[in-house]
Amino acid sequence: MFGGFLLALLAIILFGNFRLFSSTTRVAVVFQGSISGLSAGAPVTFRGVRIGNVQSTVLQFDAQTRTAYIPVTMQLEPDRIRVTGQKGGSRTALNLSELVAQGLRAELITQSFVTGQTEINLDFYPSTPATLHPGVTDLPEIPTRLSTVQRVQEELSQLPLRELVNNADETLQSLRHLSDRLDQELPPLVANLKVTAQESTRTVETAAGAITDLQRRVNDTLTRTTQLITTGNRQINERSADLHALLVSSARAARQASETLNDVRSLTSSRSETRANLESALRDLAATAASLRGLASDVERNPQLLLTGRRP
């Protein structure tokens, strides 16, 4: 019995989660959401490398603020972590506060989608603010951040699902109403479309016939116009000699008229000798006319003057 007890104790020590000869560091992570699937003994990893395990989980409720906190105690194994770039050797104690200041955060990730088990993963996220809970736990605390799955769940929980369902229901009802109206209105519309298509076909055929007739008439008109232009060109060519002779005669008559005008202008000029002779002859005629008028007056008063003549 003593030998069996020793073998059982040795098996527990070798295969159990006990590290009697290695140092551990206890830290806490405080969650406010669900940690479903996380239990004692769950691994604690850093980018997939196991560096510890979950020791215990408890529920702490603040009656004043009506807020529930879930502090999770973890055991980190510094022997699994090798720190370089510091003085005093390659292995040094972890400065948790400095790592938190540099962005060390804890998140809850799914270990297996089949079993639903989860684990805690550590990584650096400097952009995530550090929210600590000094009144919840006395252990050194690592701030938490929402995992991708938790963020998706939170965004889905904030979606107005009821409104979306109501809108979808209203949309389906509208589609059903539209379908009913289409079932009632489409047959007459299709019939009207058929009638319109037939009338359009007849109109197109009529227009095609009219266009063909118009094209024939246009061709006839163009043919006649071409013939007229050809005839006009032939007549112009035939009458070109007569037109030339007429133009020559017109030019000669214009020159003669110009010469006549020049002669008339020379006759009527104030310096012309012909005009002076004409004026002198007109004066003589005027004087003769005056003498005749005087003679006519004397004869009218004394007709005997024609026989006796004037006496000195």
Three-state secondary structure string covering 154-201: HHHHHCCHHHHHHHHHHHHHHHHHHHHHHHHHHHHHHHHHHHHHHHHH
Closest CA to 106 of 153, 67, 74, 79: 74
Question: How large a percentage of the chain has pLDDT more than 70?
Answer: 83
Element (DSSP H or E) covering residue 71: strand 67-76
Q: Regarding predicted confidence, which is higher, 304 or 118? A: 118
> Alpha-carbon distance 202 to 211, whole Å?
14
pLDDT at 59 over 80: yes
> Alpha-carbon distance 106 to 76, whole Å?
13
How much is the pTM?
A: 0.45
Mean pLDDT, residues 32-51: 89
Considering Cα of 47, then 48, then 51, then 54, what sign does the dihedral take? positive
Give the pLDDT band (50/70/90) at residue 184: confident
Q: Regarding predicted confidence, which is higher, 1 or 74? A: 74
- Cβ atoms of 120 and 106 closer than 8 Å: yes
Q: Regarding predicted confidence, which is higher, 296 or 138? A: 138
pLDDT score, position 14: 54
CA distances, 117 to each of 39, 102, 120, 162, 174 (Å) = 8, 29, 11, 31, 45
- Which residues are paired to 49 by β-bridges? 46
Give the pLDDT band (50/70/90) at residue 90: very low
| Torsion angle of the four alpha carbons 78, 82, 83, 85, in this order, in degrees rounded to the nearest 10 | 160
pLDDT at 89 over 80: no
pLDDT score, position 92: 42
Which residues lie below 8 Å from residue 150, measured CB to CB, with a gap of 6+?
33, 107, 108
Q: What is the DSSP string of 220-283?
A: HHHHHHHHHHHHHHHHHHHTHHHHHHHHHHHHHHHHHHHHHHHHHHHHSSTT-HHHHHHHHHHH
Mean pLDDT, residues 97-120: 88
pLDDT at 21 over 50: no
Give the pLDDT band (50/70/90) at residue 105: very high
pLDDT score, position 86: 58
pLDDT score, position 169: 86
- Cβ atoms of 250 and 257 closer than 8 Å: no
pLDDT score, position 146: 84
Q: Regarding predicted confidence, which is higher, 109 or 185? A: 109
Mean pLDDT, residues 94-98: 81
On the CB side of 173, CA atoms within 13 Å amount to 6
- Cβ atoms of 123 and 117 closer than 8 Å: no
> Alpha-carbon distance 39 to 174, whole Å?
50
3-class secondary-structure state, position 312: coil
Mean pLDDT, residues 117-140: 89
Closest CA to 47 of 116, 125, 117, 102: 125
Q: What are phi and psi of 170, to 5 degrees?
A: -65, -40
Mean pLDDT, residues 50-54: 92
Mean pLDDT, residues 274-278: 73
pLDDT score, position 121: 92
Q: Which of 2-11, 86-95, 142-151, 200-209 has the highest mean pLDDT?
A: 200-209
Query: What average pLDDT does the structure give for the chain?
Result: 81
Of 205-209, 222-226, 254-258, the least confident: 254-258
pLDDT score, position 11: 64
pLDDT at 87 over 60: no
